[in-house]
Structure 1
Amino acid sequence: MSTDHAETLDRDKLFTARLHAARVRPYLATALFALHVVESRWVPTMAVDPHWRCYVSPAFVDRTPVAELAGVWVHEVSHLLRDHHGRGDRVARERGLTGPGERLRMNIAADCEINDDVFGDGLARPEGAVEPSSLLLPEGQLMEDYLRQFRLGPRFQHLAWLDCGSGADGLRRRWDLGPDGAHALSPQEQDMVRFRVAEGITGQPGNVPQGWRRWAEQAFHPPQPWRVLLGAAVRSAVAAPGVGEDYSYGRPARRSAGIPGVVLPALRRRLPRVCVIIDTSGSVSDAELGSALLEVAAIARVVGGRRDLVTVLPCDAAAHIVRPLCRDASMPLIGGGGTDLRTGFARALRQRPRPDVIVVLTDGQTPWPASRPPSRTVVGLFHRAARYNEDDPDYRPDAPPEWARVVTIGSAPTGR
């Protein structure tokens, strides 16, 4: 690590560089001016922590041109806007990445995500900035993708100095002031900064690099955790023992060899059939019905994109027409009355062949079958702050039965 001999930080030069960065990247101005500068002689160059402090080496500022400092400002604030500290921690836990070497690798991967399209158009590339092309890696990918594509070795020795701080990988540094230190932004303040930046990007998409447009889209429409859970629940159901299994004489069982003159069928695995029951009662909103159609498309992907294996059954107080997904792209959702999904279960189980898995998308204001159906069941429950009946204030809907796998749709992930 370099030793800092400068007595004081040249704040005029540093802030001139920030002003230049804000002028050439106006959509990042809110984030740039939200950073609080902390002078530090422990930092090799500039670094950030998850609480939106920017630690700055006086010697680095002294030897770096203003134009390049502007690029460093944008680079460092990009780590925070893209939540590299939170993502880094999650990746470290999921993949068992420990030690300073893995954190350096994570910092390099995060830099590749930022630097592939951040410079140019008025913003100078700082000396030593890591770009995917310089490491023989493809452009346009995310930190998590880059992490899978390289390991530290002699080719990366020249990057050993790299340290953008805990804001780049989530590992606290010795110079960090921590969550209780001065000038830390609260999580609510951080979210407000991100929202303002995303708002600025969507307001002028033609002047913004693709990486930032993708980030802004996710900031306004973040990935929904329930879709991950619902997909996992359906995958678990279709992969369970007995699901999609049947006996066939097309391949005799090995046991036939022990019984001369008798041919026994073998158990074969086939792709499972899924019936999606959509609650179309009056208590389900148009937005929830739209979400249900998105879930149907995701469910089709779970069975390998075989739309012919997925049927859709609209149901309010009565079951309506069962429609194969592959035959009707418009998929009209008939209903609007009361709710009794027991009729939907009965209609689904009369299909031939019978579905292996039943997925129910509902607000939960329905009676349920008294006994476990022969098909595995997954319930996607539309999130409601309160569930009630205007005609009966004391009404509380029955919870989905214990034999169903339940995922709440449209809120923080919950399930059983």
Structure 2
Amino acid sequence: MSLDEEKLFAARLYAVRCRPYLATALFALHTVESRQVPTMAVDQHWRCYVSPAFVDRTPVEELAGIWVHEVSHLIRDHHGRSDRFAARHELTGPAERLRMNIAADCEINDDVFGDGLVRPEGAVEPASLRLNEGELMEDYLRQFRLGPHTSGFAWLDCGSGADGLERDWDLGADGAHGLSTQERDAVRFRVAQGITARPGTAPEGWRRWAEEAFHPPQPWRELLGAAVRSAVSGPGVGEDYTYGRPSRRSAGVPGVVMPNLRRRPPRVVVIVDTSGSVSDAELGSAIVEIAAIVRAVGGRRDLVSVLSCDAAAHITHPLCRAEGIPLVGGGGTDLRAGFTKVLSTTPRPDVIVALTDGQTPWPDAKPHCRTVVGLFPRPRPSGEHDPDYVPDEPPAWARVVAIG
């Protein structure tokens, strides 16, 4: 049996009519006839492998839905996300890749069908695994394991474009008609443009994806570490004059001993907001960030101190181990007290890192040292006692990184 291309491409046109914002991606797919695939599958290079027998027995309207389903795997980078998740959690083997394929299908199928697209028989939905709709592949992966409730999906195979595991039928990076990395990004950008231009026609999951495509979430842990490293390595940080090793320029001024500029390890003080508006989970996150800050300064825990502060500054603790830091507080918020205490200590710090929800007044004057502010997320301003309270924005002289 040969592939009925007329029927297959008629289904693609039908899919474009139902989902016009996906037109660029649908036409970017290059079809490859293959008797090894059970239905239709994609690889990460934007090739679509099609079973002739499957096309022959499947109605056009249902084929259109499968076109949209398969291209959705590629648009949402499920192959790259699967590889990153597998590396992070040390997952290996085809069974784990099947679980990723199921989770990726749950992310897509909760809102891809309807409005002209027929739901294929046996399509995986979150409800079939007793999971909530509207979540991401990574969220679903944390909520289920393979077992009797997933045995009905053992046939599922959307290809390496869905789970990152190469198949025997894949043509590979050097095969014909594959898209380059730049071409794939260009296709995704055009799709995101089409969704944001007419957001009322796209489901919530696609609108969320398009917003992140234009404004990707920042890798806040890397940004916080980079901000601290930049602060501790800047000019003037950790520098002081000493007469222990006279300057070589003293030779040009007979009878005068000139000090030499030396660089010492920078000192960092972390001010942790322990007011009532900061949750226990956020305080736990602060402990994790303190450990990351220690790594950013080369692992020198003796150079990092931690100060708890709500409306008043509490005892400054040298960092022996992150999990042993006592964080006390629970009252109102005024980090100015923390800044005042830190700047009056001896030796004075070279860098101040403030971990806070931002609902605090800030010092009027710029400190003598570099300042990094890690902000816990807040959906909207809310005062601890006054509903009309609007917190001050972090000052312009601080490097601000959103945490979470």
Cα offset, 1:230, TM superposition: 3.2
1:331 aligns with 2:324: no
Aligned pair partner of 1:177 in 159, 171, 180: 171
- The residue number in structure 1 matching 2:108 is 114
Whether the 8 Å contact between 2:34 and 2:169 is mirrored in structure 1 is yes
2:399 maps to: 361
Other-structure match for 1:76: 70
Question: Aligned partner of 2:77: which letter?
Answer: D
Hey, what does 1:128 align to over in structure 2? 122
How far is the alpha carbon of 1:150 from its aligned partner? 0.4
1:269 CA drift (Å): 1.2
| Equivalent residue number for residue 90 of structure 2 | 96
1:313 and 1:105, CA in 2 relative to 1: closer, same or farther beyond 3 A?
farther
- Displacement of 1:306: 7.5
CA distance in 2, matches of 1:268, 1:217: 39
Matched, 1:270 2:327: yes
- Out of 287, 291, 310, the position equivalent to 1:236 is 291
Closer, same or farther: CA 313–56 of 1 in aligned 2, 3 Å:
farther
Alignment of 1:277-356 (within 5 A): 302-303=355-356, 305=357, 307-308=359-360, 311=362, 315=366, 329-331=391-393, 333=395
Amino acid at match of 1:209: P
- How far 1:271 moved relative to its partner? 5.5
Superposition deviation, residue 311 in structure 1? 4.3
Please say if residues 315 and 334 of structure 1, whose CA atoms lie closer than 8 Å, have aligned partners that are also in contact. Answer: no
Q: TM-score, normalised by structure 1?
A: 0.62
In the TM superposition, residue 128 of structure 1 has moved relative to its aligned partner by 1.1
What one-letter code is carried by the residue in structure 2 that aligns with 1:230? Answer: L
Deviation at 1:332, TM superposition (A): 7.8
Matched, 1:39 2:33: yes
Distance in structure 2 (CA, Å) of the matches to 1:101 and 1:224: 32
TM-score by length of 2: 0.64
- In the TM superposition, residue 134 of structure 1 has moved relative to its aligned partner by 1.5
Q: Secondary structure at the match of 1:269?
A: coil
Shift of 1:245: 6.8
2:358, 2:392 within 8 Å by CA — same for their partners in 1?
Answer: no
Q: How does 1:154-173 map to 2 (within 5 A)?
A: 154-173=148-167
Whole-Å separation in 2 of the counterparts to 1:48 and 1:66: 19
**Contact kept in structure 2, 1:47 and 1:56, CA below 8 Å:** yes
TM-aligned CA distance change 1:46 to 1:271, over 3 Å: farther
Q: Tell me the SS of whatever aligns to 2:62.
A: helix
Contact in 2 for aligned 1:105/1:147 (Cα 8 Å): yes
* Cα distance in 1, alignment partners of residues 207 and 366 from structure 2: 39
Q: What one-letter code is carried by the residue in structure 1 that aligns with 2:144?
A: F
Structure 1: where are the runs of 5+ without partners?
Answer: 1-6, 247-266, 276-295, 336-359, 363-379, 381-408, 410-416
Q: What amino acid sits opposite 2:113 in the alignment?
A: F
* 2:135 paired residue number: 141
1 CA distance for matches of 2:200 and 2:106?
23
For 1:314 and 1:37, the matched residues in 2 are separated by: 64
Q: Which runs of 5+ in 2 are unaligned?
A: 229-288, 295-300, 309-323, 330-334, 340-351, 376-382, 384-388
- AA partner of residue 244 (structure 1): V
SS of equivalent to 1:54:
strand
Cα deviation, residue 244, structure 1: 3.1
Which of 167, 178, 192 in structure 1 is aligned with 2:186?
A: 192
Relative to 1, partners in 2 of residues 1:66 and 1:271: Cα closer, same or farther, differing over 3 Å?
Answer: farther
**Residue 37 of structure 1 aligns to a residue in which SS?**
strand
Q: How far did 1:331 drift?
A: 3.3
CA distance in 1, matches of 2:363, 2:178: 51
Partner of 1:284: none
1:21 and 2:83 are equivalent in the alignment = no
Q: Is the 1:80–1:167 contact (alpha carbons within 8 Å) kept by the matching residues of 2?
A: yes
What residue number does 1:282 align with? none
Deviation, 1:27, is 0.1
Aligned residue identity for 1:163: D
- Cα distance in 1 for residues equivalent to 2:365 and 2:24: 47
Provide the rounded CA distance (Å) in 2 between the counterparts of 1:93 and 1:334: 39
Shift of 1:270: 2.0
Task: Describe the superposition over 1:170-192 as per-residue Cα deviations: whole angstroms up to 9, x where unpaired.
Answer: 11100000000000101111111
**How far apart, in 2, do the equivalents of 1:10 and 1:312 lie?**
72
Please tell me whether residue 51 in structure 1 is matched to residue 73 in structure 2: no
What count of residue pairs does the alignment treat as equivalent? 284
Residues 334 and 152 (structure 1), Cα distance of their counterparts in 2 relative to 1, 3 Å cut? closer
Q: CA RMSD in A?
A: 3.3
Q: Distance in 1 between matches of 2:181 and 2:172?
A: 14
Give the counterpart letter for 2:122 in structure 1.
G
User: In structure 2, how many angstroms separate the alpha carbons of the residues matched to 1:85 and 1:24?
Assistant: 25
Equivalent in the alignment of 2:263:
none
CA distance in 2, matches of 1:222, 1:210: 17
Residue 105 (structure 2) pairs with residue 105 (structure 1):
no
Matched-pair contact (CA < 8 Å) for 2:362–2:394 = no
- Aligned CA distance change for structure 1 residues 330 and 307 (closer, same or farther; 3 Å): closer
Q: Alpha-carbon deviations, 1:339-387, whole Å to 9, x = none?
A: xxxxxxxxxxxxxxxxxxxxx529xxxxxxxxxxxxxxxxx8xxxxxxx
Distance 2:61 2:176 in 1: 29
Q: Which amino acid aligns with 2:221?
A: V
CA distance in 2, matches of 1:177, 1:306: 52
Contact preservation (8 Å) 1:32, 1:77: yes
SS in 1 for 2:399: strand
- Structure 1 residues 178-232: Cα deviation after superposition (integer angstroms, max 9, x where no partner): 000000101111111001000000011111100000000010011223x231346
